[in-house]
Amino acid sequence: MTLWLNGRFLLLYGGNDPLRLSWPSFKTRVDELHLPETDAYDLLGFFVAEVSALTKWVAGAPLNTDDNMLIETRAPLLFDQLDSVETGSRSIASIGRWVTPVHAIIAGISAREAQKLSAIVRARTIFVDGIRVELEKDPRGAFELYEQAHTLNPVNYQFRSFLESRLVARAGQAYLARHFQEAERLLRKALAYIPTSRPANFLMAETLYDSGQHDRGLLVFGKLLKHYPHYYQGHLSLAERLLTSGRPADGLAHLEFVLNYVPNSRDALSLKTRITPSAWTVQ
């Protein structure tokens, strides 16, 4: 049985027998699915789970079908409800005490490939341990484990996503406390992991602007809305800042976008009531 988190990152394998796998056959299957080599290695981050616990946990999950772009193992099950890293973390933790790294016998694998695969498995083990530590209310300790996992496997998107989301959360706390310099520092680290992160770029734009760095803030707002043109929260945030800083025409353009896109937005309607049409100023 297998669990696919976010499409390709984690497999749980039922049974305690060593996994026997032909590396050439595996690589052939990867080529057929047009997966990058990094994904092929990451797909081999197997964990073995106690059979009865895993069977109970996967009860009712939809079966894979031939059109699913997944490499399949014994009786695979696709967890399409695991559509976010947060959902996935809770799900993994629910059976974590029954899960250990799998012992695999891989025929035809080179020493270099075996070394790379070993690092992948170690990274996955550390990552799952980080989830456990985080659920035990030790976010700092968990973050250190996520960083270790990322160091071993820096191309893994899930590891980077976990790090990015937790940095953004800490930056949000700093922003609310008006510790703008600390918020900016944390957001720079977050964006190093996921440069196109919408929440990180949004908070960075607000942080820069509200700290008095208006030009830099506007630049980040512009990049954000270019990448996410229908992100109405970004338009609304920018509209409010432009309207309160003497640029009513630009601010109104963004406000009109929000009202056209989400006519019942309370925040947008509230902002609209503060505008004096004849003077084009904010009350």
Q: Give all domains of the chain, ordered by start, each with its CATH number.
A: 5-155 (no CATH), 167-282 (1.25.40.10)
Nearest in space to 77 (alpha carbons), one of 57, 95, 103: 57
Pairing of strands 19-22, 104-107: parallel
Contact 271, 239 (CB under 8 A): yes
Using DSSP's 3-state secondary structure scheme, residue 92 falls into helix
Residue 276: Cβ within 10 Å count: 10
**Long-range residue pairs from 268-274, CB within 8 A, at least 24 positions apart, any chain:** 268/232, 268/236, 268/239, 271/236, 271/239, 271/240, 271/243, 274/243
Tokens of 86: 């947060």
- Give the predicted TM-score (pTM) of the model: 0.76
Nearest in space to 21 (alpha carbons), one of 8, 40, 35: 40
Nearest in space to 6 (alpha carbons), one of 85, 107, 114, 120: 85
Which carries the bigger pLDDT value, residue 70 or residue 239?
Answer: 239
Interval 146-160: pLDDT, tens: 999 999 999 888 889
The whole-number pLDDT of residue 139 equals 92
- H helix or E strand, kind and range, residue 123: helix 111-135
Q: How confident is the model at residue 231 (pLDDT cuts 50, 70, 90)?
A: very high
Contact 259, 241 (CB under 8 A): no
Interval 38-83: pLDDT, tens: 666 776 666 666 777 666 665 655 555 544 444 333 333 334 444 4
Give the whole-angstrom CA distance, residue 193 versus residue 39. Answer: 18
In sign, the C-alpha dihedral spanning 11, 196, 262, 177 is positive
pLDDT tops 70 at residue 179: yes
Using DSSP's 3-state secondary structure scheme, residue 197 falls into coil
Complete edge-to-edge strand list for the sheet that includes strand 99-101 = 11-14, 46-49, 99-101
User: On the CB side of 178, how many CA atoms lie within 13 Å of its CA?
Assistant: 3
In sign, the C-alpha dihedral spanning 183, 149, 79, 7 is positive
Which carries the bigger pLDDT value, residue 184 or residue 89?
Answer: 184
DSSP state for residue 97 in the 8-state scheme = G
Which carries the bigger pLDDT value, residue 33 or residue 152?
Answer: 152
